[in-house]
Chain A
């Protein structure tokens, strides 16, 4: 494979118009680097930037002139990525920094994350948007210890926890172990075993020397035994996950309603999963109402299809009630889980610990709800990835936690789709972002006091069992209890009594019975009072009016 690492070199080979065209066709890849300071992470990034000619002369001049040189090389490339004053003084990176470079094939965004133990939260942050994780492993330290260092295990575990699609181990400092194939084989075998245990699906191992430049951008002449790609070649060719996200059922969380005049009403949002096309039948959550996509509007014209991560505006055939925090899904596709209770892996990011009984705000897609910690199931030892007892989460702890929410969320498991399974936790008084959570699955919800006082209805949808089921689902999606009372064991004479009993328990009763006698109707009307409905539209209006009583936070 031939590489044209720098834009500068490319331009010499091509006409300028061809260069422009190729730049307009570049894909974008995000990767994160996990490694401790002594693994040579900053030097590796400096090397990538330097060898792809992404460093400006004035920046290079300033690091050449710098009083600091910790590298042992002629120029300390790690200085290229040391940002803030405080860390320049301390010699460590204390926060996620983003770097950019591009080659003829791709534009790259690096989330450069510090690897110290106390900074798990930063690694999780960088990992959350990455397509690829580079885990740096120090070959010399491996040789000394005879095994992978705990920090390397930790970095690999976090990459697996955040479900970064591809993980590449860069076995660094090969120059310090005489470019030994034997040591590389040993590290590779241990890393492969670890990756297998953590369930990583796409794994690569590359021997490099960031300091000397071997196999980072240029092929090494010191390791003839290695025939695989350089790190840059790997980054330029690894498949992008964006293409895979277009498969699967549609998820379109509504960001805001665009209403420039009385004529037009559009729903702006990002397609998080699947595809949307004009003419497609879609269902609104939580209302359960079904309609058809009329058009996909953009400033540049209407589209015939849109998929992740496009931001578009959808116009629908019918006027349905839909707003921010709600979602459109494909009518005949797999639905997301709709639940007000779930369990999730949590990375805690704040000095104030997480304990059972605490309530936070949870922001999931465009929906923000209150989330109360039901219990901590177990903590995770991030060195060994094993479970342990845990009653509270300190900063940088990881645990599986069960939550109850004030309103249902519409989600997929994080393992299935990152956007649909991720949420952040916010402390409601200080407004600090205190945690990140990755949903595993729904759990059985608790009955909560907040459901009380909204009333229960009797809805008779004569001979329309499908509508009856849809209405029950819509109520349940809003966290409200509802049952269909067409059970053969409920004779018509008992119906009014059943409706009354359910109403006292705040449970709506729905029927699709073909006929009811006048006396039954009268009795049921008496039992249900104002909340007696015979049409879906009237019942929906009641549902909206009584559900909106509880504002979203």
Chain B
């Protein structure tokens, strides 16, 4: 339930029979989180450190209150994440008392896997998809919560709340279980698993509104600030450790922020003046571009998100 921080009044109290959309979404997400914890043997939450993960984490705190979050958080670290993300992750997990598992595909990292060497598709395949599947297998997890939303990208519009994966971790868009009412089928055979998406029905705007209403901390990269960056392939790329500047590239200070967080080399920033959550929301209302547009991987090939999903990426 939301509390208006200004008046201290519970919003639910103001209209007991008139739920606003964030309360309705929250209630649905809590139900999904509890259903999964009740029915799966060993769930885990995929924690990407991004804004959606932050919302999902708060929902998990709410779902099991006054108990602790009854599953570990799993972060798949590609080694290309922004340092601000890593320090935020470690501090926040500690603050809320959550168990954190960090998994890296050390073999591929030692091998020098990078988007420049392998291309974004293959780099993601090795450092994200492969790494994630290995981590799930090592941990013996039969269910993994993910922060994906159906409004993010076309191929996600048909995703189930409980997304079934075969023993190889693959998704078959033509053979999904029908999902009616809020009766989720959690039955699995050995080796099979289910990705659970408690934020399925949230939009990008819902996420920001909730972060604001709940005063949830997020990585500072989401707020506009003067940062050193170059423009590469039409994308504003923040200067980061290990970056090789191309001939003619000259880093400049630009007032920018991240709209979605990924790996430093492949996630573009946007020019922005938004330094607070209300300013971000205000800016978002004016946006006429979808948030994944800043991700290099989605543009490699038409339908590329669907390809990645079939292979096991979210």
Interface residues of A (CB under 8 A from B): 7-8, 11, 16-17, 19-20, 23-28, 56-59, 81-86, 88, 94-100, 102, 106-107, 109, 112, 121-122, 124-125, 128-129, 242-243, 246, 255-256, 258-260, 264, 266, 268-270, 297-301, 303-305, 307, 309-311, 313, 324, 349, 361, 363-364, 366, 418-419, 422-424, 426, 431-433, 436
Interface residues of B (CB under 8 A from A): 1-3, 10-13, 16-25, 27-28, 30-31, 34-35, 37-38, 61-68, 150-151, 154-155, 157-158, 173-174, 176-183, 185, 187-189, 200-201, 203, 205-206, 209, 212-213, 278, 281-282, 285-290, 293, 303, 306
B303:A97 contact, CB within 8 angstroms: no
Q: Across the interface, name the chain B residue whose C-beta is closest to A313.
A: B65
> Nearest-CB distance from B182 to chain A (Å)?
8
A56:B21 contact, CB within 8 angstroms: no
A433:B185 contact, CB within 8 angstroms: yes
Distance in angstroms between the alpha carbons of A301 and B64 in the assembled complex: 13
A57:B157 contact, CB within 8 angstroms: no
B35:A125 contact, CB within 8 angstroms: no
> Nearest-CB distance from B57 to chain A (Å)?
12
Which B residues lie within 8 Å of A26 (CB)?
20-21
B19:A300 contact, CB within 8 angstroms: no
Known: A98-B200, A255-B35, A311-B27. A432 touches B177 (CB 8 A): yes
Which A residues lie within 8 Å of B38 (CB)?
255-256, 324, 366
A433:B177 contact, CB within 8 angstroms: yes
User: Which 5 A-B residue pairs are closest in the complex by CB-CB distance?
Assistant: A431-B187, A311-B30, A260-B67, A28-B21, A57-B288
Which B residues lie within 8 Å of A259 (CB)?
67
B158:A20 contact, CB within 8 angstroms: no
B200:A297 contact, CB within 8 angstroms: no
Which A residues lie within 8 Å of B66 (CB)?
258, 260, 264, 266, 297, 313
* Chain A contact residues, majority secondary structure: mixed
Which B residues lie within 8 Å of A361 (CB)?
187
For this complex, 25 residue pairs linking A to B, each with C-beta atoms less than 8 Å apart, are A24-B2, A25-B20, A28-B20, A28-B21, A28-B24, A56-B287, A82-B154, A83-B155, A84-B155, A98-B158, A100-B203, A106-B21, A122-B178, A124-B180, A125-B180, A242-B24, A246-B17, A258-B64, A264-B66, A268-B34, A298-B65, A303-B1, A303-B10, A361-B187, A418-B181
Which B residues lie within 8 Å of A7 (CB)?
205, 285
B282:A16 contact, CB within 8 angstroms: yes
Distance in angstroms between the alpha carbons of A59 and B24 in the assembled complex: 28
Which A residues lie within 8 Å of B158 (CB)?
83-84, 95-98
Q: Across the interface, name the chain B residue whose C-beta is closest to A129.
A: B181
A309:B24 contact, CB within 8 angstroms: yes
Q: Across the interface, name the chain B residue whose C-beta is closest to A8.
A: B285
Which A residues lie within 8 Å of B176 (CB)?
95
> Nearest-CB distance from A25 to chain B (Å)?
5
A128:B180 contact, CB within 8 angstroms: yes
Distance in angstroms between the alpha carbons of A305 and B17 in the assembled complex: 10
Distance in angstroms between the alpha carbons of A56 and B63 in the assembled complex: 33
A256:B62 contact, CB within 8 angstroms: no
Q: Across the interface, name the chain B residue whose C-beta is closest to A365.
A: B183
Known: A16-B282, A28-B21. A258 touches B67 (CB 8 A): yes
Which A residues lie within 8 Å of B188 (CB)?
431
B201:A109 contact, CB within 8 angstroms: yes
Q: Across the interface, name the chain B residue whose C-beta is closest to A435.
A: B178
Q: Across the interface, name the chain A residue whose C-beta is closest to B187.
A: A431
B286:A8 contact, CB within 8 angstroms: yes
Known: A255-B34, A299-B62. A94 touches B21 (CB 8 A): no
**Which of A24, A81, A309 is close to B22, meaning CB atoms less than 8 Å apart?**
A24
Most buried by A among B154, B178, B187, B286: B178
